[in-house]
Amino acid sequence: MTTDPVDLSARLIRCPSVTPEEGGALQLLSGVLSEAGFDCVRVDRNGVPNLFARWGARGARSFGFNGHTDVVPVGARAEWTRDPFGGAVEEGILWGRGATDMKTGVGAFVAAAVDFVRETPPDGAIILTITGDEEGPGRDGTRALLDYMATEGEAMSVCLVGEPTSQQQIGDMMKIGRRGSMTFFIEARGVQGHAAYPQRARNPLHGLIDLLARMTATPLDTGTAHFEASTLQVTTIDCGNPANNVIPARASATVNIRFNDAHSSGAIIHWAKELMAEVTQASGVIFGLRTEVSGESFLTPPGEFVALVRDAVQAETGIAPELSTSGGTSDARFVKDHCPVLEFGLVGKTMHKVDEHVEVEQILRLKAIYGRILRAYFA
């Protein structure tokens, strides 16, 4: 009997696993996988639930899947037309929080892996790393799983992340990399004073505006072979000054940067500090900089692994997927330090929205694609 990915996905949706709550989702998966012969280990860290599962011998050539069962909050529950944790299937549609991002991706690859090892036990291992922290800070989820694997001598030869990558129809896009993401929190320090006597003060806003103008005057680049141009966006400027006749002492700004493989986060930080030094010399305004790096840019170059996944997608859908590096970040940014990693999943049009849903046919098709990928890899 084959494993129904729609039923498994619906059961996962019924687990209220809003980050960082486990909600029963990993318990459910552990039961399904253990019954199929997978060795399952909970790798919880700092209250974050994670599951490691392996079928086959440790140290063997292995195919890995990565995904998450945590979901974002439902928002205004009264706006939902169905129970966000009901997992209802109506007229060929599965409804609920996580229906696209990404309990169906997990349901599809778990179902494909279970059926594969039962029907055609592979010469090698299948490893599943499933976290409850992808929608949260990301510090104790897939990172914890990779740390556990390093300690225990576990390894994936390649990994496929089941994030929703398709745009209009399943199969039209797969991710071979992602842009890096970082945020600057900038503080400008001047001297407070009366607006009528600017010579007795030093306006931090003027220096900050100058700095931001220099940052945005010229694009960071025009793109690379596999990436769009990097972007830099000023997202807020604040000084907390309620008076119209006072030059404030401090001002702040936040800048978000999405960068391609022409840069590293360190190089961009160095560039920003050089601009700050120039503005300080010109204006006397002093700058402080705090940075948060969500992930570096990475690329899995077209080659054997990319071709295997692309060909499997095309065989099942009739569509040659676009090889893309667009979009935000995913846990692939952590996996890329462990092994070659790609992302492929269903259409994500409703992810994080009220009345999140997906067509049942997509889930069935996704399981078939993942199964074909496994057969091709271990052929």
Residue 182 to residue 170: CA distance in whole angstroms: 30
Residue 106 to residue 39: CA distance in whole angstroms: 17
Indicate the Cα dihedral angle 237, 238, 243, 249, nearest 10°.
-110
Q: Which tokens is 133 given?
A: 């922290």
Q: Looking at the chain, how many residues does it have? A: 379
Any residues with CB less than 8 A from the CB of 66 and at least 6 apart, and which? 128, 129, 130, 131, 142, 159, 160, 161, 162, 331, 332, 335, 341
Q: Residue 198 pairs with which residues in a beta bridge?
A: none
Reply yes or no on whether 70 is catalytic: yes
Give me the catalytic one of 115, 133, 134, 163.
134
Nearest 5°: phi and psi at 252?
A: -140, 160
Reply yes or no on whether 304 is catalytic: no
Any residues with CB less than 8 A from the CB of 11 and at least 6 apart, and which? 28, 87
Tell me the C-alpha to C-alpha distance, in Å, between residue 50 and each of 21, 87, 111, 147, 358.
11, 22, 19, 12, 25
Give me the catalytic one of 22, 70, 133, 140.
70
For residue 343, give the DSSP letter: E
Contact 158, 93 (CB under 8 A): no
- Sign, CA dihedral 261-264-267-271, equals positive
Q: Which tokens is 53 given?
A: 């599962």
Contact 119, 130 (CB under 8 A): no
Positions marked active-site = 70, 134
